[in-house]
Structure 1
Amino acid sequence: MPPSRSRPARYAKRRQRRMKAVEHDLSPQQWAALSAAWGGCAYCGAADRPLQRDCVLPISRGGRYTLENIAPACGSCNASKCNDEVTGWLRRKKLDERAFLESHVRIQAELAVLFAEQPL
């Protein structure tokens, strides 16, 4: 009987398969612009911590690493959100859902114009 893998190892393998199954097109320049536009964690506003790429629509629910689907998040928010739907998670955490959604739409529109004007 082969040794069983640990739960974290199984989850990591499953995530790796999901990541390979979709096309991710977030460039380093887009990530830098996105991080600068938010000025900190998109959810809690923390600006004194390293930021991670968080999929607004999680990869496990069909999301991808694209300019439209990524928000910068501190490690705490990213880990807490996990693969939850963003609005439900914001409500549970008692974070300002409306402020996030308005900022997300505004920043996405600004960056879409910026990157549409730049040749790849």
Structure 2
Amino acid sequence: MAAGSRRVRAARRRQRRLAKGTHDLTEVQWTALLSAWAGCAYCGAEDPSLQRDCVLPISRGGRYTLDNVVPACRSCNASKCNFEVTGWLRRKQLDEQDFLLRYAEIRATLVTDLDDLDDPRN
């Protein structure tokens, strides 16, 4: 019984945090992220049901935006939970530098490409 009420309280806290922030990740952006990463951003698994994972967790002030979301397999998403990404990558013995470089490259490319699509002059 106590575990159930703890889950309920945690779910309510999460909903309050989500309601506080602006979450503007569109389906077009999510599709572009899936295509750019071509698998789990952390382990590379090509799972067809990748989940949206916030690099900076919602509990630490993150939001569902193009700059903060990466596709993650269920295992990585659950394991990362609300940990800071670089510390979690080190604990899991995943390549932190490779992730950060690829994350920066994909973010820069997608922001530019998607801005070009939204530009009415094109």
TM-score range, shorter chain: over 0.9
Structure 2 partner of 1:65: 64
**Cα shift at 1:8:** 0.9
Structure 1 partner of 2:88: 89
Runs of 4+ residues deviating >6 angstroms: none
Three-state SS of the structure 2 residue aligned to 1:31 is: helix
User: In the TM superposition, what whole-angstrom CA distance separates every residue of 1:25-48 from its partner, at most 9, and x where no partner exists?
Assistant: 000000000011000000000003
Amino acid at match of 2:91: R
Equivalenced residues, count: 118
2:91 is aligned with 1:107: no
Taking only the aligned residue pairs, the percentage that are identical comes to 61
**Cα shift at 1:49:** 4.2
Specify every segment of 5 or more residues in structure 2 that has no aligned partner in the other structure, as ranges.
none
Amino acid at match of 2:67: E
Amino acid at match of 2:108: A
| Structure (1 or 2) with the greater helix fraction | 2
Distance 2:8 2:76 in 1: 22
Three-state SS of the structure 2 residue aligned to 1:118 is: helix
Specify every segment of 5 or more residues in structure 1 that has no aligned partner in the other structure, as ranges.
none
* TM-score normalised by length of structure 1: 0.93
Distance 1:117 1:103 in 2: 21
**Cα shift at 1:116:** 1.0
CA-based RMSD of the aligned residues comes to: 1.5
* TM-score normalised by length of structure 2: 0.92
Amino acid at match of 2:14: R
Distance 2:5 2:69 in 1: 29
